A and B are shown apart, each in its own frame.
Chain A
Amino acid sequence: MDIGEPQRTYTIEPVEDPIPREEPATVPEESPAEPVEVPA
């Protein structure tokens, strides 16, 4: 692959990650517990 004569050298430190990260698996929320009748 021809990129021509080298002209300059520099450094790049991306602020945003160029690599797409896997999204964490979503954990289904537990259904709230049924209300329990408590004797008065």
Chain B
Amino acid sequence: MSAFVVPDKISPEIGWRVWLVVAHEAGLFLHSAVQAKVQWPVREALRAECRRIPALEIVGEPRLGPAHQAPEQTCGTAGGHGCGIYATKTAATCADFLKGAYSPGQVRGAGVVHRVIGKVSLWGKVVEGELGWRAEYAYPREIWIPREFHVASGVDIGAVRPPGLPLEEIACGLAAYGVPVSFTSVEPDALAA
């Protein structure tokens, strides 16, 4: 018999994230800005998993710990990042990711055409930090498309170039997620201020 767990909350946490917009053959998809290979499915929750590295455990590397259901509060506390889907409590906290500090040009052979900011719903098991959350499940709630694309060009972090596709085409592609999509002219520095 499985134990019935009474939830602590019945409404999702609403956090902020930055996503890459990646042009696959099947259309435009959101990818995580840092873990760029993580593709956010359309009309399906993204579920977190802990990507511990067995090879490191073999050589006695303790920082990743044993396998566990993500997110685990103690994961990453001894170094590195803890598992789970990240979101911050304010837009300003994640706005740096719009500036191109992490700016791959391609993900799995598909082109990164833009970078967007938005709100995300978080639920399931959730670890709360002072500035944000790590969650088990997540889905975009609202997406804003900046009119300019900040990229890293050599050592020049935050150089600006036109998005890889017309903004309207990006908005149409992201509409598949079924959440509000709009444009913003607010600079990342203004968000971070």
Residues in A lying within 8 Å of B, measured CB to CB: 1-16, 18-22
Taking a contact as CB atoms under 8 Å apart, the answer to whether B126 and A19 are in contact is no
Using CB atoms, name the residue of chain A closest to B72: A9
Using CB atoms, name the residue of chain B closest to A15: B10
CB-CB < 8 A to B133: which residues of A? 3
Q: How far is the CA of A1 from the CA of B123 in the complex (A)?
A: 18
Taking a contact as CB atoms under 8 Å apart, the answer to whether A3 and B126 are in contact is no
* Residue B100 interfacial (CB < 8 Å): no
Q: How far is the CA of A19 from the CA of B141 in the complex (A)?
A: 8
List of 9 A-B pairs having minimum Cβ-Cβ separation, nearest first: A4-B130, A3-B132, A20-B178, A3-B129, A13-B7, A18-B121, A10-B8, A4-B129, A12-B123
The smallest C-beta distance from B9 to any residue of chain A, in angstroms, reads 4
Taking a contact as CB atoms under 8 Å apart, the answer to whether A18 and B43 are in contact is no
CB-CB < 8 A to B122: which residues of A? 12
Taking a contact as CB atoms under 8 Å apart, the answer to whether B132 and A8 are in contact is no
The smallest C-beta distance from B112 to any residue of chain A, in angstroms, reads 18
Taking a contact as CB atoms under 8 Å apart, the answer to whether B73 and A6 are in contact is yes
Taking a contact as CB atoms under 8 Å apart, the answer to whether B130 and A3 are in contact is yes
Taking a contact as CB atoms under 8 Å apart, the answer to whether B125 and A11 are in contact is yes
Q: How far is the CA of A10 from the CA of B9 in the complex (A)?
A: 8
CB-CB < 8 A to A8: which residues of B? 73, 127-128
Since A3-B87, A12-B9, A18-B12 are in contact, a sample of 11 more A-B pairs with Cβ atoms closer than 8 Å, ordered by chain A residue number, is A1-B86, A4-B129, A5-B130, A6-B129, A10-B128, A12-B11, A13-B10, A18-B45, A19-B43, A19-B45, A19-B139
Q: How far is the CA of A18 from the CA of B11 in the complex (A)?
A: 9
Q: How far is the CA of A14 from the CA of B88 in the complex (A)?
A: 19
The smallest C-beta distance from B102 to any residue of chain A, in angstroms, reads 10
Q: How far is the CA of A7 from the CA of B143 in the complex (A)?
A: 28
CB-CB < 8 A to A7: which residues of B? 128-130
Q: How far is the CA of A12 from the CA of B94 in the complex (A)?
A: 23
The smallest C-beta distance from A40 to any residue of chain B, in angstroms, reads 57
